[in-house]
Amino acid sequence: MILNGWEAVFFWIFSIAAIFAGLLTVMARNAVHSALFLISSLLSVAALFILLGAEFIAGVQILVYVGGVMVLFLFVIMLVNVGAEEQGLSEISNKPRQVAASLIFCLLLVIGLLFAINTGYQGLQKRDEARLGGTTEQRRTQQQNLATGATGTSRITTDTQQVGNSLYRFASLPFEIASVLLLVAIIGSVMLARTLKQEAAVDDVDPEVLLTKVAQEADRAETLREPT
């Protein structure tokens, strides 16, 4: 698998953008900035997916991650943001020793992963040497054979068709399980995020019982807050 010409240029642009946006996600003081950097990182990775010929996954990535999950993140940040972080009143990271230990761990992980990729890729290349040769030409002719779009200059990719085929043919049971998982996640998050009042309203609790419950909850929250 080799990218040529402009593909290589765009590969370097988007991969460097993805890594820098990822770094800034982790280092930004303000959580909203973090979320925006994560959005740009996800968009760059979507562009890499397009370079790899996975247009469907790139679209799903933009729609689901950027359009859905990150909006959810931004809402939650705005619901819970305490504001002490960006004013510099509070540390953004753990204690220095913990940070040092985790950075050493990450460094070791980098070394290990790069070593594994290097050796593994050499072995892989040795194995597939014969088959890797003519594929660039093959892919080019395949792309030439695709139907043209309405403007006549673009080609209509069959990637989505292939993904759909193999999704429903070979992975239909996992697909159904994923839908059940999403249903469980929806119900679970509604259950987790509702207040005591909403909980009691659904369960038809007697108003007096509800009042005592609310008072108990307030007491409990007070004790949990630990006046220091």
**Segment 22-61, which members bind other proteins (CB under 8 A)?**
22-23, 25-26, 31, 34-35, 38, 41-42, 45, 48-49, 52-54, 56-57, 60-61
Task: Choose which of 13, 156, 171, 201 interacts with other proteins (CB under 8 A).
Answer: 171
The nearest distance, CB 153 to other proteins, in angstroms, is 14
Q: By rule CB under 8 A, what string of x and - marks binding of each residue 123-162 to other proteins?
A: -x---x--xx--x--xx--x----------------x--x
Rank residues 185 and 206 by Cβ distance to other proteins and give the closer one: 185
Question: Which residues 6+ apart lie within 8 Å of 175 measured at CB?
Answer: 167, 168
Single out the segment in contact with other proteins by CB under 8 A; choices: 111-119, 149-157, 197-205, 206-214.
111-119
The nearest distance, CB 173 to other proteins, in angstroms, is 12
Rank residues 49 and 200 by Cβ distance to other proteins and give the closer one: 49
The helix or strand, by DSSP H or E, that contains position 157, with its residue range, turns out to be none
The nearest distance, CB 125 to other proteins, in angstroms, is 8
Rank residues 193 and 209 by Cβ distance to other proteins and give the closer one: 193
Q: How far is CA 171 from CA 21, 157, 164, 181, in A?
A: 34, 22, 10, 15
Nearest C-alpha neighbor of 60 from the set 51, 50, 71, 73: 50
Task: Choose which of 87, 91, 156, 176 interacts with other proteins (CB under 8 A).
Answer: 91
Q: Please answer whether residues 42 and 65 qualify as being in contact, where contact means their C-beta atoms are separated by less than 8 angstroms.
A: yes
Measured CA to CA, the distance from residue 113 to residue 186 in angstroms comes to 36
Measured CA to CA, the distance from residue 22 to residue 114 in angstroms comes to 19
Measured CA to CA, the distance from residue 10 to residue 51 in angstroms comes to 8
